[in-house]
Amino acid sequence: MDLVSRVEKQLHDEQLLRQGDSIVAAVSGGPDSIAMLHVLFLLSERWGWRLVVAHVNHQFRVEESEQEASFVEEYSRQLGIPCEIARIDVPQYIRESGKNSQAAARELRYRFLHETADKYGAKRIALAHHADDQAETLLMRLLRGTGPSGLTGIPMRRVEHNVELVRPLLRIYKSELLDYCHHHQLTYYIDSSNNNTKYFRNEIRLELLPLLQERYNEQLPQALNRLSVMMTAEDDFLDKQASTVFEQNVAVESDFAQWSRNWFAGVHVALQRRLIKLILNYLSFEADSLDFMKLEQMRELIIKEEPSNLRIDIGHNLSLTREYDRIKLHTYVVPPEAYLYILQPRQESLTIVETGAVIECSWSEEDTRMKEGATDGAVSVWFDADLLAFPLTVRSRADGDKMNLFGLNGSKKVKDIFIDAKIPPSLRARIPVITDADNRVIWLPGVRRSSWAPVNGNTKAWLHMKLCMEEGLLSTVLR
């Protein structure tokens, strides 16, 4: 069976794509995505698909990135497929957000893919991850330490923001895609950063995986992919079992969950761990961030017979309480005392009495950043003062607050920004919201700055703002 037929069979068997779908194809210009686009194009007439190409120029490699973007645009034109190109200054976003390069690039890339899907009314986004990517992912997770769910690897399909991300090449190996490109005389680009072993995945792909294949198992990628297939099915089964017993035996409210200790102790240990994670997720805690030892400590405290009554703080604003047979996992968020202060032009500092935080300001008609070698950070930012409407307001967060971010068309809720930054709910009320006179949120000190009033070559008046707060509290925000 040729590659096109194999992909089509996979699409049919897994119902990844359907007749008449509008599909955004994420195309980087590399052999994987070019092969995927070509296969989808060949199948599109029979399946009645409406294809759209989406390409992101991350601006990491200026000249190379522009060449790749132009190539993808021209190839799409030759196929008669609409093409959306995004040129995003990811290095700038990294400086603003403090995120690592791969996480920042992924966040902005997926954001653009969703914007493109929304623009064209597409319900599917096709990604070109292949079987070698899957093998590398499993090996990386094994080295870092993972449980059964981690061994499922990259999912073939996943719903995100009401759009389904699908990977039609996940059972196809890289060598097959290269052969396909060669056979069909397809041009593609190779990202030079793929050979940089400072990235963990590249180190796995270029060094460790070939070494293990040579010394121990020539078919290691295939073995890892089989493991992923098996673990995906078993993980899905255990998740369904856990959900069933959860719904039947756990009472959940917005800020707590409770259940019977005796019942829980009789549940299989594999489901006990999944139940704890499921309960934590219902309480808006990212259970996957909980290490195994902490999870085991919680599980053992629940099932042991003595003492009959206890209460422990498990961190992240969560407490576990046991009263005879009743187990209760709950959060504590003290309602904040609202505050509002006015920050006038040329004012040098402002103290927020309610939280103990201090906002320090310096005003200048020359770019002192260049002298100090300073850049924006989590607790220190620079604004073009002429682009802000004064006076500024420093206040507590309000429902509905939104902020414009670099690389984002439109605004994002402040609440969602806190969630993305993993700021604990109990801490969010202590982070001030700074707005200008036009009620635009310009900065969340310690978290993110907005896209308003960035300094540039035309800036004549600089405003430098710095957050000062209790060291322990600050380290929690910046952890």
The residues pairing with 381 across neighbouring beta strands, listed in sequence order, are: 465
Tokens of 111: 């954001």
Superfamily of domain 3-220: HUPs (3.40.50.620)
Find all residues with CB under 8 Å of 332, minimum gap 6, and list them.
255, 317, 319, 426
The residues pairing with 413 across neighbouring beta strands, listed in sequence order, are: 402
Intervals of CATH 3.40.50.620 along the chain: 3-220
Cβ atoms 275, 264 nearer than 8 A: yes
Integer Cα distance of 354 and 336 in angstroms: 9
Intervals of CATH 3.30.465.60 along the chain: 250-331
CATH number, span 250-331: 3.30.465.60
- Residue pLDDT tens, the chain, 479 long: 699 999 999 999 999 999 999 999 999 999 999 999 999 999 999 999 999 999 999 888 778 889 999 999 999 999 999 999 999 888 888 887 777 788 888 889 999 999 999 999 999 999 999 999 999 999 999 998 888 889 999 999 999 989 999 999 999 999 999 999 999 999 999 888 888 888 889 999 999 999 999 999 999 999 999 999 999 999 999 999 999 999 999 998 777 899 999 999 999 999 999 999 998 888 867 777 777 888 898 899 899 887 777 888 877 778 888 888 889 888 765 556 789 999 999 999 999 988 888 999 999 887 766 544 456 677 889 999 999 999 999 999 988 899 998 878 789 999 889 878 877 665 677 789 999 999 999 999 988 899 999 988 888 999 999 998 765 455 545 44
Integer Cα distance of 227 and 245 in angstroms: 27
